[in-house]
Structures are given as structure tokens and as C-alpha cells.
Amino acid sequence: MSESARKFMFLDASSRDVIGIIGKGNGKDPEKFCWNTKQDFASKISLFADQMLRSADLKLTDLDILAVGTGPGSLTGLRVAAAFFRTTSQFSGIPIVGISLFQWALESLILESENKSHSDEEILLSTPYIRNSVFAVDISDLSKGYSDDVHKTLRIIEKDSDFSDFRHYGINYCPENASQIDLSPLAAERIISRAVTKNTLAEVFSVLPLYVAPSIAEMNLGIHS
């Protein structure tokens, strides 16, 4: 059951399977949307936002906060989503917050593990980068949540690296001999409910993608330029 009184709209475009979440702030669980965008995300992002608002019977001006995924992930998706939400925040006056994909995944794990015994095994979270590599972070203590110490472990490694020393979870893919995290709408709401929002123009434009993976077209352009 939701405990947040904040009405919010959140969009994560770190992969082709874009996720949207709308929270009504009425004690009910937030609603989750998924869209497979292929190559046309930029032309549809405003339609996705309208769909979420209509489903929740809300207007943009009813929202208390906007939230956008900051990756890591697709360069194009993250860049388009950040630009759209920053512009919306600027012109509507609705504060904005950025949410890291690893932060969301970790909060989803914490939510899932509540009332369960915690293993001392170190956790590794990974999400696709390009070709045969992944972005990864280490979690030494699940109870401490996401922190700068976790962020400092972020690195790019090969998919077939030895992960035997970790309890391994994949984000937006299912690694071999590991589990895929179910990104929870309630976990996103928890992060948003305690987030320090960005309000001034400078703060709004500081909400930027974390780390990005270029598309095949962008990589080919770099090769031939």
C-alpha cells in the first residue's frame, strides 16, 4: 500500500522498454506503464505523459513532482526524457528529481527483502552497456541503501566476467546464473517521497543522464566521422 501523499509522474527511458509510473497521492499503489518504443521514442514521449495523466484522472498542474530516470542506459532515450522533463518542469514550475537506475533497483531489492533475513553475501547489480559489456555496481550492505560509496563502485565490465563472489542481479536483462530485478513502482515512489527536489533553473538543468550507452547508429557515425 502506498504511503506517499505526493502526486508524481516518473519516466525511465534507459532501455527500449520505457517505463512510466504515475502516483495519485491518495494512498493507492502507483500505476505502472510499459512501452516498447523501438526507434520512435522522441515522437511519443508527450503521448506517454498524456496517457499516464489521463489514466490517473490528473492534470499536469495537479502534480507535486516530476521524476526522470538518469540511467545508466540508452543515450538517446535518457537524453530525450531528461530534456522533456526538464522543460516541463521549467515551464510548469513543478519541481523535478532524477532517479538512478541502480538506486531504483536497489530500493526494489530492499522492498522485496523486508521481513526476510539478510544474507552477508555482497550484491552486484548490472545493466547492459554495449555489445558484451555491462555497467555494474557493488552493494556491500543492503540495509544502507544507495549512497555515494555505492556510486563510486560503478564500472564497465564484460558480461562473462566471474561473478561467483556476488549475489548477482540484472537490470533490464537476465544474466546467466543470476536473477533479473523487477523494478517496483512502490520502490520508485519511496525514492520520490523522500527526494530533495530541484526547483531553480540551474538545479532543474542539473538533472542529467548518469552514464549512457551510444546506439549502433551513433557508434557507426563516430567510426565514420
- Same domain as 144, residue 41: no
15 and 76 Cβ atoms separated by less than 8 Å = no
- Same domain as 106, residue 39: no
Query: What's the pLDDT score for residue 216?
Result: 45
- Same domain as 134, residue 70: no
- Same domain as 160, residue 56: no
DSSP helix/strand/coil, 112: helix
**Residue 2 phi, psi dihedral angles, 5° rounding:** -70, 145
- Same domain as 156, residue 50: no
In a domain, 65, yes or no: yes
Least confident of 92-101, 110-119, 143-152, 196-205: 196-205
- Same domain as 165, residue 106: yes
How confident is the model over 45-88, as pLDDT tens digits? Answer: 999 999 999 999 999 999 999 999 988 888 888 989 999 999 99
Identity of the amino acid at 217: A
Buried b (16+ CB within 10 A) or exposed e, 86-97: bebbeeeebbbb
Query: What's the pLDDT score for residue 57?
Result: 96
Query: What's the pLDDT score for residue 118?
Result: 56
How confident is the model over 13-40, as pLDDT tens digits? Answer: 998 899 999 999 888 899 999 998 877 8
In a domain, 3, yes or no: no
- Average of per-residue pLDDT values in the chain: 84
- Same domain as 202, residue 93: yes
Pairing of strands 167-170, 179-180: parallel
How many domains does one find in the chain? 2
**Residue 206 phi, psi dihedral angles, 5° rounding:** -85, -10
Is a pLDDT exceeding 90 seen at residue 117? no
Q: Domain range for residue 163? A: 102-180
Is residue 129 very low, low, confident or very high in pLDDT (cuts 50, 70, 90)? confident
Give the residue with greater pLDDT, 120 vs 167: 167
- Same domain as 191, residue 175: no
- Same domain as 106, residue 96: no
In a domain, 170, yes or no: yes
- Same domain as 196, residue 175: no
Which of 118, 78, 46 minimizes the C-alpha distance to 208?
A: 78
In a domain, 162, yes or no: yes
- Quote the pTM value: 0.86
Task: At 208, list the grid cell.
Answer: 542529467
Question: What is the mean pLDDT of the segment spanning 80-103?
Answer: 92
- Same domain as 170, residue 130: yes
In a domain, 210, yes or no: yes
